Structure 1
């Protein structure tokens, strides 16, 4: 098996033959001649397939690409029965939290919210559940779950496990190898990495589960565009290089942030390119810090080559457990001293 740095570059290429292109083509069609495995433009596309093959090799399971990360997540929940009990973090990505809260309120699902860091609490909530939805590290507080223990406990009880691997990426952890049933990515983030694509993916080793998820994608119409799939695959070619550089920068910035007088807490799991920190000030002053950056983009997203930050509680749907003074910083690939200089001058605004 190749190392991921090699897989990212070599996977999802066309067959090698005389005068064949090195890169896959953008297949812009909704209609296919009969007699092939695709059948119709909502069921598949050769450009999606190239991207799916590359992610499959990185995650170690068969992959489906979706129009967004939330589309991929929604597909997982869509195959659960009405009222099915699921276990999920009480603090995580605000889009998922909003969706699960609405499902719980409507009776679509019975959601048991837990502290994912408390392994005993999570395991205790599993009894009778249909699915355990895990996000590790969590967004934006960067709490880390004991994935091996939680996955093993769920499997012992015959419960499905899905893991959002967007923050850690397959360079850090491989949940399918731990026994998880599904791995989800917001491909928008680190995998594509250039802030120009909305896309999601699901990977699994279970052929029957893959078929159900494929049907959900096809019949709900949550398919990616071929050009977006091509852009995502082009971005994925440099994913390990980008991620490793951003992670290197993040580790250095954590040391500097921990020594700054206007920072009360730094959250970092020891890996990855996301750093969350809390400002010694009010919510308004924290917002002022974000507004004062000159190089770091004040924007909602993460995982791109450029550094981004924001005060997460500026969004009404963000979990109230997230501190008002917390800034989530997605560290990019710029020269680390330039990032730090911008952080320092922004903090000097308060």
Structure 2
């Protein structure tokens, strides 16, 4: 699918990017931050403006729905559904992170450098929720188009995609995103079919996947899709832009549930879409405006405050996750608990461990453990005292959820699989709580067999 298909109406004059701001954004140089080279510094300093006597340290929040205007003037801000100034710091900060214009760090402390030629970047677009951002992006695909989607992916979008397919709005092709050659074959077959139908195609990638933590070969799949003129989307929620930057590999659009790791405190709902393509940016902006999928000012303030600590939160949670994965993997051969499997990209036993090590800047803060069946998994959750049995992920607190409790989760997800979103508590406390729950269930099971 060519990104030029279905040209949008132009942005309102008040929302057009002025030449100076566009030039700064496409070169990766923010107009509102000091010249810093490290992404950790940028997370804290980005979007604060120029230091002047009496100026606020934090960007002010716009609690207004409308702005005054002058006839014939350059009225950039008019009505809050089209955009407000207080969104700008977070939208630009997320865009620069995804563009990879600054030096980055992996969770193990290894310092990486930005590419010699940074990805041209436009401001991100904030949405009222992750699903609102997803809806805007999938509607870049006109009716009758083809969508290639991982068989394991965020349940909300997987359900929406199936509903759209059932209504005849698109043709859905599910793939095992970790099987690169099989996905390449599907891309080729769908592209040939779509060409005969004069229909567009969208490749949707989630990596690592939710909840199975499969890792896609982003460079290979995005290159194959680009070669065939297919629009590409990557949901980067699990990895965050500190661990993976899909725009560098050629993705057209990157998505985030800001609710999760970016905001990091389980206290708001928000989504974001980032693209380097001005026409796609305009189309997504138009969708957000016309569908009213805009975030509230307080949510944007809280999200920006949360993003400031993303690096330290992610490092701590990732370190905990890696240690928990090692400890649970060591438990498996002992047989003292009902544990049947542990999955984490940082373990050598993970099917795509080598790919994750080469492609990601760190292995993330999500892991899964597998119990024999749903009843055993639910019993373990019942005995937890520190971990909270809850959906969602990416907050400072540790959450545990049996994913197949949802009827729309694919049958390929084991009944006894528990997804662990690891927080920043002390790892010994997290391990002790899960271990005591596993041992209690093992003891109960032995008593039942007597």
Deviation of 1:15 after TM superposition, in Å, equals 2.9
Distance (whole Å) between structure 2 residues aligned to residue 12 and residue 101 of structure 1:
39
**1:39 aligned to 49, 65, 78, which one?**
78
Cα distance in structure 2, aligned partners of 1:2 and 1:197: 30
Distance 1:151 1:326 in 2: 30
1:59–1:174 Cα contact (<8 Å) kept? yes
Q: Which residue of 2 aligns with 1:309?
A: 400
Structure 2 partner of 1:5: 40
SS in structure 1 of the partner of residue 440 of structure 2: coil
Q: Larger Rg: 1 or 2?
A: 2
Q: Are residues 1:143 and 2:178 paired?
A: no
- Give the conservation status (yes or no) of the 8 Å contact 2:339–2:438: no
8 A Cα contact 2:65 2:79, kept in partner: yes
Aligned mates of 2:75, 2:250 — CA distance in 1: 34
2:209 aligned with 1:152: no
1:131 pairs with 2:223: no
How far residue 57 of structure 1 moved from its aligned partner, in angstroms, is: 1.5
Aligned equivalents of 1:193 and 1:331: distance in 2?
Answer: 12
Correspondent of 1:278 among 342, 346, 370: 370
**Normalising to structure 1: TM-score of the pair?**
0.97
Distance in 1, matches of 2:168 and 2:185, equals 22
Corresponding residue for residue 341 of structure 2: 265
1:17 aligns with 2:109: no
Tell me the matched-pair count: 349
Alpha-carbon distance in 2 for matches of 1:79, 1:272: 30
Which residue matches 1:50?
89
Confirm or deny that 1:183 pairs with 2:254: yes
Kept after mapping to 2: 8 A contact 1:79/1:216: no
Q: CA deviation at 1:2?
A: 2.3
Quick one: distance in 1 between partners of 2:342 and 2:45?
37
Stretches of structure 1 that go unaligned for 5 or more consecutive residues are none
Alignment TM-score, normalising by the size of structure 2: 0.76
In structure 2, distance between residues paired with 1:2 and 1:74: 34
| Equivalence for 2:146 | 85
Is 1:114 the equivalent of 2:175?
yes
Is the Cα–Cα contact under 8 Å of residues 12 and 52 in structure 1 kept in the other structure?
no
CA shift, 1:138, in A, is 0.3
Inter-partner Cα distance in structure 2 for 1:314 and 1:302: 16
- What is the match of residue 435 of structure 2? 344
Q: Deviations over 1:62-91 (max 9, x none)?
A: 200001111100000112210111111011
Unaligned segments of structure 2, at least 5 residues: 1-35, 100-120, 195-199, 347-362, 442-450
Compute the displacement of 1:115 (Å): 0.8
Residue in 2 aligned with 1:163?
234
What is the CA-CA distance between 1:306 and the residue it aligns to?
A: 0.5
For residue 264 of structure 2, the aligned residue among 178, 193, 217 is 193
Computed over aligned residues only, the root mean square deviation of the Cα atoms, in angstroms, reads 1.1
